[in-house]
Amino acid sequence: MELAAYYQQMCTIRRFEEEAMALVQSREIAGSVHLCIGQEAIPVGACAALEAGDAVIGTYRGHGWAIARGVPLAELFAEMLGRASALNAGRGGSPYLMAPRYGFLGENSIVGAGLPMAAGAALARKLQGGRAVAVVSIGDGAMNQGAVHETLNMAAVLGLPLLLVVENNGYAEMTPATALTAVPAHERAAAYGLRGELVDGNDPAAVAQAVRALRADVLATGRPALLEAMTHRLVGHYSGDAQAYRPPGELAAARQADPITRLAALISETEADGTVAAADEAARADVLAALDLARSVPFPDPADATNGIYAEELR
Chain residues that interact with other proteins, rule: CB under 8 A: 55, 87-89, 91-92, 96-98, 100-101, 105-106, 108, 110, 113, 115-125, 127-128, 134, 146-147, 150-151, 153-154, 157-158, 306, 308-312, 314-315
Question: Quick one: 123 or 211, whose CB is closer to other proteins?
Answer: 123
Nearer Cβ to other proteins (59/108): 108
| Minimum distance from residue 257 beta carbon to other proteins (Å) | 34
DSSP 95: T
Q: Tell which residue, 75, 69, 105, 103, has the closest CA to residue 87.
A: 75
Minimum distance from CB of 113 to other proteins (Å)?
Answer: 6
The distance of closest approach from Cβ of residue 15 to other proteins in the complex, given in angstroms and rounded to an integer, is 26
The rounded distance, in Å, linking the Cα atoms of 177 and 242 is: 18
Type of residue numbered 88: N
Specify the residue, 38 or 106, whose C-beta has the smaller distance to other proteins.
106
93 or 259: CB nearest other proteins: 93
Strands, DSSP E only, in the chain?
A: 55-57, 104-106, 134-139, 162-168, 171-172, 175-176, 195-200, 225-230
Minimum Å distance from CB 14 to other proteins? 27
Closer of 125 and 233 to other proteins (Cβ): 125
Burial of 78 (0-12, 13-18, 19+ CB in 10 A): buried
The strand pairing partners of 137, in sequence order, are 165
Q: What residues are paired with 172 via a beta bridge? A: 175
CB of 182 to other proteins, least distance (A): 21
Say which residues have a Cβ less than 8 Å from residue 306's Cβ, sequence separation at least 6. Answer: none
Angle between helices 275-295 and 73-80 (to 10 degrees): 50
Q: Give min distance, CB of 85 to other proteins, in A.
A: 10
Closest to other proteins by CB, 118 or 291: 118
**Looking at this protein, which amino acid is placed at residue 121?**
A
